[in-house]
Structure 1
Amino acid sequence: MDVELRHAKIVTVIDRLGSISKAALQLSLPQSSLTAQLRRIERAVGGDLFVRTRVGVVPTALGDRLIPMLADLVQQADLVIAEAAAHSADVFRFGNAEWTPPSLRSALKAALPVGEVQTETLSPAAAVEAVCRGALNAAMVPGVALDASAEAAELSLARTVIVREPIWLALPQGHPLTGRLVLGTSQLGSLNWVRYTRDHWFHPIEKHLFATFDHPDPEVLHYVDRHHEAMNWVRDADAAALTTPTGATRDVCLVPISGSGSSEMLLVWRSDTVPRDIQRRLVHTVRRYYCEYARTIPRYWSWITEHPEEFTELRNVLPRRAA
């Protein structure tokens, strides 16, 4: 393992506080995770950097030599980050999974005190990685993608739930089931399905729901790697697909599924690069934008306002009568 900047920060925080438990608290990491990271760092440098005592930890002889160098590395990196931030403070880069509506950029630009907003559509894993390395200021990703990222866990990315989206059924226009208010899983086994490839973030969610069907192995017409590709198959091949409501297109019909669960959509950012005022504005803007977009999806907005208990994160942007 190469020694990286984040490793230098870990060592210097432990040295400054003289305690692994206090350092874990400041870094927002579980103590076990910080201890494991320290062990990997020590293996990389060839020996122990600290020795435990009754009152905390103190540097070893190797630590006395290396810790000042690591502290200097952190200081120099902070200067670089400050200089870069001063140069690009007017540009806010936002990532989104699957696709990015053009109106989202306009909403962010109107709400954030920045000169320019750049948006990018990329896979959830790529979005998380881009936030980790600073290529994006923030991104909205499904929770399953963040849970699978070891780098995000190490950096302890800041996160908040924007919404918990229900899993619904997409059907072609005119299908007999589109007239139902809510479907049970027992009614889904006989459909012809479009499903998601194994490397798509929605696959584990879909797999879990399929396991609840009375017939868990129905016919699959095609495997896709995008929600909108799935919707094309629903429209053109008389197929069915599971989706979040915002993953559907307007030329298909959506029907709620009883007990189908939900998918967390998270906003993630590095707390050391996004000021608190920007964080607050960003979270509020994305939630408000989500509601505005939900209004354009047949059946979905009425579902949200009729079931506010399922959308607690949106309570500050929902109509008062539904809150």
Structure 2
Amino acid sequence: MELELRHARVVVTIGTAGSISAGAQELGLPQPSLTAQLRRIERAVGGDLFVRSRSGVTPTELGARLVPLLADLVRRADEVMAEALAASGGPLRLGCTEWTPPALRDALQAALPDTAVQTRTLNPEAAVEAVRRGALAAALVPRVPEPAGGVPGGDDDEPALGRALIVREPVWLAVPHGHPLSARTSVGADELTELTDHAGLAWVRSSQDHWFRAVERRVLGGSAPGRVLHHVNSHQEAMNWVRDMEVVALTTPSGALPGVSLVPVTGGERVDLVLLWRGNALPRETPRTLVDTVRAYYCDYARSRPAYWSWIRDHRGEFGELGRHLPQPVDTSPRPEFSTRSAATQR
């Protein structure tokens, strides 16, 4: 096997992350896949690069010589790609799942005034594949909460991807305005089937091949509760059915539409919204700009839905990734009262 740039990125990521498991998480790859890649790379260079232990990895004598050289190779490759992108004036293409709000595209363009921004809506698997192939520079995709977890990965020959968590969205119940459940402050995940059986709720569920199907199965179980009137292929279609047909559905808050009320589901699932990018296709600072812009946009969206923004404020510990975009907690501790007697004494 000949050593390639993608192999250098794998080694550098493992070294920087401090462990194979942390490196796999950062690259969006299954840990066994990354372990197999590292073994092939080590065979190609003629020896082990890291000593594995329960606490992580440390460079071997060979690794101490080669890892800095590989890191310099990755840095120089990034500089070449940044210069090439600037010289070509080509657009930055970003994919989104479900739908792409025009305001999000405008926010990205404002954050990158010297780069033309193009957006595209497609399903998560297609978005990840497009980033791997270079058809997209980055993609905003949900992390499907299957037991194995993780963003859909590729095989061992695919280039490594950068990734950053934007927000961990709760999964809530969507009901029509005025529905009896809309007055609830929350509903337990374990109540949904019982409520359906006693209240005769009608549902819309995701189609078999839609990414949200796995989320519904985790919350509702393998069998469909009550009556399922329709299977949808997008959150927007589901919300239209909730609004117009007096049915209920599960959704993330960003998938809701006007005309629909959201009820928090306690003890439910969360969906990780993740930004992926092809490491050698963007200037070094661009991923940071994208991440910060998308997080700021998400908070602006949440503010437009007071009930959800209030929930975020009350559960800010669960939204730590939004960082500085969250409101600072109000200091409610009592302040010392001003004493006129002490002031007079001082005079």
TM over 0.5: yes
Q: Which amino acid aligns with 2:184?
A: R
Spell out, residue by residue over 1:177-209, the C-alpha distance to the aligned partner (whole angstroms, 9 max, x if none). Answer: 100111123442212111001211111111000
* TM-score, with structure 1 as normaliser: 0.76
8 Å Cα contact 2:128-2:152 kept in structure 1:
no
Alignment of 1:1-323 (within 5 A): 8-9=4-5, 13=8, 25=15, 33=33, 36-37=36-37, 85-89=85-89, 91-144=91-144, 147-151=151-155, 154-189=158-193, 190=196, 191-211=201-221, 217-321=225-329
**Aligned equivalents of 2:12, 2:327: Cα separation in 1:** 43
**Aligned equivalents of 1:93, 1:179: Cα separation in 2:** 42
8 Å Cα contact 1:167-1:261 kept in structure 2:
yes
Q: Which amino acid aligns with 1:160?
A: A
**Aligned equivalents of 2:284, 2:12: Cα separation in 1:** 23
8 Å Cα contact 2:303-2:309 kept in structure 1:
yes
Q: Which amino acid aligns with 2:305?
A: I
**Aligned equivalents of 1:321, 1:23: Cα separation in 2:** 35
**Aligned equivalents of 1:322, 1:90: Cα separation in 2:** 45
8 Å Cα contact 1:100-1:120 kept in structure 2:
yes
**Aligned equivalents of 2:13, 2:294: Cα separation in 1:** 32
Spell out, residue by residue over 1:290-318, the C-alpha distance to the aligned partner (whole angstroms, 9 max, x if none). Answer: 01111222511111112101111112101
State the 1:148 CA deviation: 2.4
Q: Tell me, what secondary structure is at the counterpart of 2:286? A: helix
State the 1:247 CA deviation: 0.3
Q: CA RMSD in A?
A: 3.6
Q: Cα–Cα, structure 1 residues 322 and 166, in superposed 2: closer, same or farther, change >3 Å?
A: farther
State the 1:84 CA deviation: 5.1
**Aligned equivalents of 2:11, 2:108: Cα separation in 1:** 38
Q: Which amino acid aligns with 2:167?
A: V
**Aligned equivalents of 1:135, 1:52: Cα separation in 2:** 35
**Aligned equivalents of 2:191, 2:32: Cα separation in 1:** 46
Q: Which amino acid aligns with 1:172?
A: P
Q: Aligned pair count? A: 288
State the 1:10 CA deviation: 5.5
Q: Which amino acid aligns with 1:207?
A: R
Q: Tell me, what secondary structure is at the counterpart of 2:164? A: strand
Q: Tell me, what secondary structure is at the counterpart of 1:299? A: helix
8 Å Cα contact 2:165-2:272 kept in structure 1:
yes
Moved more, 307-316 or 136-145: 136-145
Q: Tell me, what secondary structure is at the counterpart of 1:33? A: helix
Q: Which amino acid aligns with 1:85?
A: L
Moved more, 89-98 or 224-233: 89-98
8 Å Cα contact 2:202-2:229 kept in structure 1:
yes
% same residue: 48
8 Å Cα contact 2:6-2:160 kept in structure 1:
no
State the 1:267 CA deviation: 0.8
Q: Tell me, what secondary structure is at the counterpart of 2:244? A: helix
**Aligned equivalents of 1:79, 1:320: Cα separation in 2:** 37
**Aligned equivalents of 1:111, 1:122: Cα separation in 2:** 23
Spell out, residue by residue over 1:205-254, the C-alpha distance to the aligned partner (whole angstroms, 9 max, x if none). Answer: 11000029xx8632211111100111111112211100000101111111
User: Match of 2:338?
Assistant: none
